[in-house]
Structure 1
Amino acid sequence: MNFDISQVKHPKEKLYGSIMLAVGVLIWALVIGFIMLSLLRGQLYAAMLALIYFAAFWLFSYWARALTRAYMMGHFVMVGPDQFPHIHRMVEDGARALGLREIPQTFVYNSSGVLNAMALRLVGRQRYIWLTSALLDADNDEQVRFVIGHELGHHVAGHLDEPWSYLRFPGHIVPFLGAAYSRGRELTCDRIGAFVARDLQAARTGLQMLACGSVRLNAQMNPDSFQKQEQMVPGISGFFLKIVSHYPRHTRRVEAVTQWYKTQPAASQPIRPSFAPRPA
């Protein structure tokens, strides 16, 4: 199964991403038009005030990312050929399978029990992946590979790329639109994670682990039973919880990735992983 991001992107990401882009471009056009009109009318105060706000926002964002990078370098553990090499090879294999030119720098950090992973772009063009210690402790290697694939998905799908992220940013002022777009992106990345893992069971249980979080119960998880819980979610209250959330329900994510994976005829072909399985 060759990777093609246009074929893998979830329809909801395509829909809400297009709406976010259209709304963002419109709002940016109105702002730029206001500044130009102010300059033409000689209203330098209004134009300068708008430019100062933009400059302050950019400087704050840049400084926050620079501080985050500095903290990461001093407090997290960078994965590499000589540091957790099996995780490094997972990232390399996944990046190669997805066609990423640059392999993201991967870091492990002490999450104090929180299961999570993140994809980031900070200062410069370098891409990053963060993996929490709790997630690595709870998941087996196949599930970790799915999680790594999910985070690589944010990079290969362009979710963190400029200028598109800036162009879409004003779309967040539309109620519920930003959350809907975020949910669509997560469903896309679940597909990419499954593509990298080439293991539906790992994808399903990897998602279920976010709800379970138990190392002891990991091998006993039944994703079929968990997926059936999606049918038990109350319609009205479930809908209101969904529209304010930036992440789909765990049960919905298991259901969605299962439905997609089963439509991929060559999904079971291995990626030729080079990492050694973790001892039992």
Structure 2
Amino acid sequence: MNELVYPRERTLAAITLVIGLLIWLGLIVGTFGVALIGLALGFVLYLFVQSALIAHIKGNGVELSEDQFPDLHAQFTACCDRLQMKTRPQAYILNGNGGLNAFATKYLGTQFVVLMSDVVDAMDKHAEGVRFYIGHELGHLRMKHLSGHLLRWPALWLPLLGAAYSRARESTCDRHGLACSESPEGAARALAALSAGAERWEKLDVNAYLRQANHSSGFWMSFHELTAGYPWLTKRAARVMDTGASMPPRSGFAYLLALFVPYAGRLGAGFGLLMLVYIVGMLAAVALPAYQDYTVRAKVSAAMIGSQGAREALGNYYQSNKKIPESLYIAGVPSQLADGTRLQLAPKQMVLTVSTKQGELIFMPAADAEGRITWGCTNGAGLKPTQLPPSCRK
């Protein structure tokens, strides 16, 4: 059954899982375990949302069985057997409200395949088409696409990678749908119904439709596919007609642009760009103040080093004379350093103020039992605590 797996899916699955786990590990270690709470809350939220979906399916759908729509049930069981699925999921039909679709889901170990009524009606005279949709959704369950999503979640937002993994999964599931169909053309027509609609698909010229895949090599076509979770339908149809079919190469410049757009799932590249703007804005809001503090801290550190001689001279004067000098001049200290930094002395406590363009750095003395002076420092006017040199913040 390896031929049912799209060549790059397993590689992309491993990469996203490893990256996702590393990011979660970094978050857990970096937040001292707080991220574990977020992970647990995310799982609880997932269970709550899934419970609502499953309740909706069971409460409003029609379960397939030997007694209820036996023709569809027979096609479903045949497809399960073809895909060697020993444990059969529960299958339902749900009102699609005009949408041609189907989906697979799971809840606490129980698997479900849901066919929208519109797709079943559209394929009423095309049994292969129904089997294609069934096989496609069974493919998601057989390949465990619904497991480990939370662990991969941080990696799935990454540009190119998340979208590539999603497209690979869809291509794998198309192969599962093909395996349940009797012919490649039947599978291609089932996919084409998503384009042509519930009635027109029967009159579709399949070969002409497949040739449209040649239009996908342009810049914008390439870019929007690279940021999307589904390959273009024309490509999907061409691949089920011939699993080894070569597709037109994508624009290299499209990769460069897509590299900066986070994957946003079905919301598309537009939302991905909004996410990029948001992420850049958040990083800027954090990084710019941090960078400004860093540059100020570097300059203040230079002033701290430059005024070291002044503090030593004041300490030596106090130790030798057992009193505080009345001025800097008496202690032999200049009031201005070579770089323009100004020094001021408060004679009562021998507090030294180092005034820089960035703000004031204040040094406060303390004498030990032998009269030796040590200096502590704090921020003064114009200087924030985060801009103090590391030795002042101990």
**What TM-score, normalized to structure 2?**
0.59
Structure 1 position 234, deviation (Å): 5.3
Q: Distance in 2 between matches of 1:81 and 1:129?
A: 16
Q: Distance in 1 between matches of 2:154 and 2:100?
A: 30
Distance 2:217 2:86 in 1: 44
Equivalent-residue separation in structure 2 for 1:8 and 1:71 (angstroms): 32
Quote the residue 2:27 is aligned against: 31
Q: Is the 8 A contact 1:77 1:109 kept in 2?
A: yes
The alignment status of 1:142 with 2:128, answered yes or no, reads: yes
- 1:113 equivalenced with 2:92 (yes/no): no
**Partner secondary structure for residue 151 of structure 1:** helix
Distance 1:185 1:51 in 2: 28
CA contact (8 A) 2:209 2:234 kept: yes
Q: Which residue of 2 aligns with 1:189?
A: 173
In the TM superposition, what is the alpha-carbon distance from 1:155 to its structure 2 partner?
Answer: 1.0
**How far 1:11 sits from its partner (Å)?**
1.8
Q: What do you get for the CA RMSD once the two structures are aligned?
A: 1.8
Matched ranges for 1:153-168 at <5 A: 153-161=139-147, 164-168=148-152
Q: How does 1:84-233 map to 2 (within 5 A)?
A: 84-122=69-107, 124-139=108-123, 140-161=126-147, 164-215=148-199, 217-233=200-216
Identity %: 32
* CA distance in 1: counterparts of 2:38 and 2:150, whole angstroms: 15
- The amino acid that maps onto 1:221 is L
Contact 2:100 2:198 (8 Å CA) reproduced: no
Query: How far apart are 1:261 and its partner, in Å?
Result: 7.3
Equivalent residue letter for 2:190: G
CA contact (8 A) 1:200 1:261 kept: no
> Which residue pairs with 1:244 in the alignment?
227
User: CA distance change for structure 1 residues 7 and 214 in 2, over 3 Å: closer, same or farther?
Assistant: closer
Counterpart contact for 2:136–2:173, Cα < 8 Å: yes
Please give the alpha-carbon distance, in whole angstroms, between the structure 1 residues aligned to 2:66 and 2:218: 49
Question: Which of structure 1's runs of 4+ aligned residues deviate more than 6 A?
Answer: none
Higher helix residue share: 1
The whole-number CA distance in structure 1 between the counterparts of 2:217 and 2:141 is 34
Question: RCO higher in 1 or 2 (8 Å CA, sep ≥ 6)?
Answer: 1
Cα distance in 2 for partners of 1:210, 1:141 equals 16
Structure 1 portions without partners, runs of 5+: 39-46, 263-280
Show structure 2 runs of 5+ residues with no match: 246-394
Distance, in Å, in 1 between the alignment partners of 2:38 and 2:201 is 49
Q: One-letter code of the match for 2:14? A: S
Give the whole-Å Cα distance in 2 for the aligned partners of 1:204 and 1:74. 33
Q: State the distance in 2 between where 1:234 and 1:101 align.
A: 41
Q: Judging changes above 3 Å, is the alpha-carbon distance between structure 1 residues 234 and 136 closer, same or farther for their aligned structure 2 residues?
A: same
> Secondary structure of the residue that 2:115 maps to in structure 1?
strand
CA contact (8 A) 2:128 2:182 kept: no
How many residues align? The count is 243
2:59 is matched with which residue?
74
Paired letter, 2:85? L
Amino acid at match of 1:71: H
Cα separation, 2, equivalents of 1:254 and 1:191? 11
Which of the two has higher C-alpha Rg? 2
Length-normalised TM-score, structure 1: 0.81
Partner of 2:269: none
Q: For the residues of structure 1 that align with 2:36 and 2:13, how far apart are their CA atoms?
A: 27
Instruction: Give the drift of 1:230.
Output: 1.0
| Deviation (angstroms), 1:80 | 1.2
